[in-house]
Structures are given as C-alpha cells and as structure tokens.
C-alpha cells in the first residue's frame, strides 16, 4: 500500500483529502504545519507528499527544499491557491514533481498521483535491468553511484548518477532533452533545462581523462554519449 503524507494547516482539507485517498487504497497521514510535516517525513517512509504552498509556519517551497535535501528522490506535489505562471515555475524549479491549484477535483489529483508513481516505478524497473556500465576506460556503477578510472573512484550526486545512467542507456544514440528532464527533474521547464546543462558539464569534466569518450550536444534535441564499441 502506497503511503501519502498530507501537509496542510487546513484540518478540514486534510481530513477530506485523507478520507478520499484512503477509499482509493492509499494509506495517509497528516501534519498541520510545515515543521511537523518535515519531521514526520524524516521519521517514516512516504511514497508521495502533498504540501500546501502557504502554511502558517513555513512556505511550501521551504518545506519542499528541506524534504528534497533529506531525500532527493522524494515525490512532492504542491497544492496552491495561486494559478499564475510565476508560482508554477517557482515550485517546479524548487524540485516539485507537479502542482495543482485550488479548488481542484480530487479525481484530477488522484490521476496525477497515479501517473507520477507509475513513471517512478518504470524508472526503477529500468534502472534495475542494468546497473554497471563500461564507458571507455571508466567503470560506472549506478547502484553505488560510483565512477571509477585508473584506480580512482568518484562518488556521483543523485542527479549526476541518474543523468549518466540515462546517457548509458542511450549510449551512442540521442537522449532527448525532454525525456531526461521529465524523468529526472519532473518537467521540461527552461530553468530545469539550464540545471541539466550544468550537470552535463560536470559529467564531461568527470569523463575528460578518456579522449575517446564524449558527451555531444545535439543542438535543440538532446545529448549523445559517444563511446567506442
């Protein structure tokens, strides 16, 4: 049974949403402040976090940041009363997988939750199909998040690891920008695209000791990890 944490200082909203999700087969817990929600998340495992954008003690983006710092893979959906583009960009840029504006249809939220969990499950299954790769003279272990070369080992950050894993899965073929952005960052916004470019630059630096290995930028389309066969 998937577990969902609801962080909202509106108790009625928590109760209504909690009962609805329980009827749909989910286990739910609620916290009525940002601080308590963060503490509860750190104490137990949740598959999804639903967090209100405006809380009494913290803003949703602060809660989101602390949760993502604790667990970079956390799935957080922001619930907001604002429907402007700036708010949408802010929450996605901060690391939310998605957002939904009030008032919302519970069935729409349920669809978002199901779609995100399905995408995450597909990602995990694909990752588990192969965890070790030879990249020229480098050896990459995606489970341990290590990139080894010449007796030296580099520990990758979670996003570096996911991005290099995708490049390996598409080795010598085009990895579309949109595919990587949606799978790793949750959406293909401009800001997430700039963030991905920074991570690509980091990976190029890590792989520079082998001149036969190259991450090629296919302008406007994506990237290609070129590795000698």
pLDDT in tens, the chain (229 residues): 899 999 998 899 999 999 999 999 999 999 999 999 999 998 888 999 999 988 888 888 889 888 888 877 788 999 987 777 777 777 777 778 888 888 888 999 999 899 888 877 776 666 556 789 999 999 999 989 999 999 999 999 989 999 999 999 889 999 988 888 878 887 778 888 899 999 999 999 999 999 999 999 988 789 999 998 7
Q: How far is CA 126 from CA 5, 17, 36, 119, 170, in A?
A: 26, 32, 35, 11, 12
By DSSP bridging, strand 152-155 and strand 132-135 are: unpaired
Give the separation between CA 187 and CA 57, rounded to whole angstroms. 28
Degrees (nearest 5) of the Cα angle 17, 71, 185?
80
Hey, what CATH class is 3-126 in?
Answer: alpha beta
**φ, ψ of residue 156 in degrees (nearest 5):** -90, 150
pLDDT, position 124: 64
The three-class DSSP label of residue 13 is: helix
**φ, ψ of residue 77 in degrees (nearest 5):** -110, 125
Give the separation between CA 64 and CA 93, rounded to whole angstroms. 11
The three-class DSSP label of residue 205 is: helix
Closest CA to 91 of 120, 59, 119: 59
Assess whether the previous peptide bond of 31 is cis (omega < 30° from 0). no
Regarding pTM above 0.75, the answer is no
pLDDT, position 160: 93
Structural domain spans, the chain: 3-126, 130-226
**φ, ψ of residue 83 in degrees (nearest 5):** -115, 10
- Residue 58, judged by CB atoms within 10 A of its CB (0-12, 13-18, 19+), counts as buried
pLDDT, position 129: 64
Closest CA to 168 of 84, 224, 96: 224
Give the separation between CA 140 and CA 132, rounded to whole angstroms. 6
Closest CA to 89 of 199, 195, 202: 195
For the chain, the distance separating the N- and C-terminal CA atoms, rounded to the nearest angstrom, is: 44
pLDDT, position 140: 96
Architecture of domain 130-226: Orthogonal Bundle (1.10)
pLDDT, position 126: 61
pLDDT, position 125: 64
């Amino acid at each position: 049974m998937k577990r969902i944490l609801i962080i909202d200082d509106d108790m009625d909203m928590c109760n209504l949403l909690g009962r609805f999700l329980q009827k749909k087969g989910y286990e739910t817990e609620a916290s009525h402040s940002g601080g308590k929600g963060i503490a509860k998340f750190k104490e137990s495992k949740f598959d999804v976090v639903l967090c209100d954008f405006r809380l009494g003690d913290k803003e949703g983006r602060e809660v989101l940041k602390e949760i993502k710092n604790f667990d970079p893979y956390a799935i957080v959906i922001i619930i907001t009363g604002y429907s402007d583009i700036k708010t949408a960009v802010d929450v996605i840029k901060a690391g939310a997988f998605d957002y939904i504006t009030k008032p919302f249809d519970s069935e729409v939220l349920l669809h978002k939750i199901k779609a995100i969990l399905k995408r995450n499950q597909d990602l995990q299954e694909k990752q588990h199909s192969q965890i070790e790769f030879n990249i020229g003279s480098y050896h990459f272990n995606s489970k341990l998040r290590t990139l080894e070369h010449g007796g030296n080992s580099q520990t990758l950050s979670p996003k570096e690891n996911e991005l290099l894993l995708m490049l390996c899965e598409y080795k010598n073929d085009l990895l579309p920008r949109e595919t990587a952005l949606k799978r790793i960052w949750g959406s293909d916004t401009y800001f997430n695209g700039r963030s991905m470019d920074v991570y690509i630059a980091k990976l190029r630096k890590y792989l520079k000791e082998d001149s036969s290995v190259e991450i090629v930028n296919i302008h406007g389309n994506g990237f290609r990890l070129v590795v000698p066969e």
